[in-house]
Amino acid sequence: MTHMDQGSRTRCSADFEDIAGDLLHAARMDDMERYCQHGSTSTYQHSVAVAYYSLRLARALRIPCDERSLVRGCLLHDYFLYDWHDGSQAPDRWHGFTHPRHALANAERDFALNDIERDLIAHHMFPLVPIPPRCREGWIATLVDKACSLREVFVSNPYANLCPKEAAL
């Protein structure tokens, strides 16, 4: 990622909070805090990190995109609402391949989504899902999701020093 000065990071954090605020305070979003994603990171923390760093990446690289759809889609990309580590809760044994479908169904049930958000949620697991994202927001999310997942697997408390304000959301 290219260098962002402190002012750009502060602006990005404020814009992130403006875009994400209503969704982060929605009733079912708290459910994501109960489920472990990778390592000690909850699905909620993972989704907030993917959304925040996707916005930062898009801005740092000056990628033109719908920032609202990018952030909202990222916040909901893993809105599957079950513990995928527990076989009795998971709807199938193929979580990596099928959870985008479950996340999209839940997100469509609970929120009004646009086409970009639907595409991002449905295709963020490319290449495990065979159809790639159709929009640049989906590609950004796909890349950042992989980077965040790796960090969560290999780093204890992965967001403590990176974005303390966002990690606490």
Q: What is the per-residue pLDDT across 114-143, written as a single tens digit (0 to 9) for each?
A: 999 999 999 999 999 999 999 999 999 999
The reported pLDDT for the residue numbered 92 is 77
Domains of the chain: total? 1
Gap between the Cα atoms of 127 and 129, Å rounded: 5
Q: Is residue 149 part of a domain?
A: yes
* Helix-, strand-, coil-residue percentages of the chain, each rounded to 5: 60, 5, 35
In a domain, 152, yes or no: yes
Residue 132 maps to a domain = yes
Would you say residue 104 lies in a domain?
Answer: yes
pLDDT at site 167: 45
Q: What pLDDT band is residue 98 in, cutting at 50, 70 and 90? A: confident
Mean pLDDT, residues 35-50 taken together: 90
Structural domain boundaries, residue 36: 7-167
| Residue 26 token pair | 């929605």
The model's confidence at residue 3, banded by pLDDT at 50, 70 and 90, is: low
Hey, what are 157's tokens?
A: 């408390």
Q: Is the pLDDT score of 2 beyond 70?
A: no
Question: Is pLDDT larger for residue 18 or for residue 89?
Answer: 18
* Spatial separation of the C-alpha atoms in residues 103 and 126, rounded to whole Å: 15
Q: What is the DSSP string of 19-83?
A: HHHHHHTSGGGGGGGGSEEETTEEHHHHHHHHHHHHHHHHHHTT----HHHHHHHHHHTTTT-S-
Q: Where is average pLDDT lowest: 3-12, 70-79, 149-158? A: 3-12
Q: Is residue 122 part of a domain?
A: yes
- 49 belongs to a structural domain: yes
- The confidence score (pLDDT) of residue 49 equals 95
Task: Give the pLDDT of residue 82.
Answer: 81
Whether 2 is covered by a domain: the verdict is no
Confidence of residue 110 (pLDDT cuts 50, 70, 90): very high
Mean pLDDT of the chain: 88
6, pLDDT greater than 80: no
